[in-house]
Structure 1
Amino acid sequence: MSPRHQRGASLIEVLIAIVVLSTGLLGMAGLLYGAMRHNHAAYLRSQGVALAADVLDRMRAHGPACAGPAMGPSCPFTQGRSGSDASAGPACGEPLPAGMAAPALATADFLQWRNCLAQALPGGYGAVTHVAEGVVYAGRCGNGQAVAPVPAPMPLFVVEVHWAEHRLPTEGDVGHDCVVLSAGVGT
């Protein structure tokens, strides 16, 4: 071949190599973005589970206020949906005031848990519900589940923690994530 016909061949090869390399780099960036998004979703879910378990531990610490069959529905932790007013109550991690009466201390503990939800999760809120034995509990997560029977002297509570995932909802998706824990709380 004469040198005249080979002048553009190496330039085309370089352009094709750049296109192939760019496509590979874009694919790697997409994989990295997907991995980071799923990692963040898993982090938020683990925070939700930890906060749901935290409120159950707080309830156990206030045993007389939430223990016994008669006290279940009047437990201070079951008073309404949390997270609606993050300014009320002590800040997350702040020591609770000393010298408070037991019901007031339990209420302050619940308000602090509510503030922890709002701080740790985007759009975070939660609810604690007293459930009678054998009742089918259909919470806001959309998955009604039968609650297992518990011993008679121990009331059963269901904790729901919700947060906004900041993603586009897909078909059948409610646009937020949540975790549900249930446990008996006794003295």
Structure 2
Amino acid sequence: MMIKKGVVIGIIFLWILSGCKSKTRENTVLKLSLPQIVDVSEDLNYIFTDGFSFTDNLRIDKIGMKRIDEHQYKIFYFFSDTGCMEQIEVLNIAFRVYPKKPMEFNDKLYQKNKARTIAAKCVLNRMADNIVVASDIFALVPKTFNETKIYLYKPETGIVGRTMTILDLNFDF
């Protein structure tokens, strides 16, 4: 009876292991099938590098900013390869800034709200060996922020998982 239990446990263990290996292979194939974008990782100013888990399966490794012009930027979100890339693709990512001087905003609505959100559809790309979501180029006049919140969301249902907060951010680079 003990031998049969050991065999059953062994079979279940091997089955679980084989499932993980095939999932890893599927993820590698999916990752390699992503559109390749120009590797600008050396040109970015990294505003966050500590890693953050929005959910158990959705994790961001770092966030880089590229200055395009005096007041124009592009954000690059580097996601961890957690095997749940298909979950990311149905989401949007928001970068909500709360400037130290909200009156520096050019738009009266942002001045009134004392905040602005830069949102991007989570379109996955590959930059070298990284899985990246890039925002469109956006203009932003304030350069110093008390707080910045980053979160994933579905437009129909709202925020997914936890919200990341970065304090005292400065775009003067």
TM-score w.r.t. length of structure 2: 0.30
Task: Identify, as 1 or 2, the structure richer in strand.
Answer: 2
Task: Identify, as 1 or 2, the structure richer in helix.
Answer: 1
Mark the structure with the bigger radius of gyration: 1
TM-score w.r.t. length of structure 1: 0.28
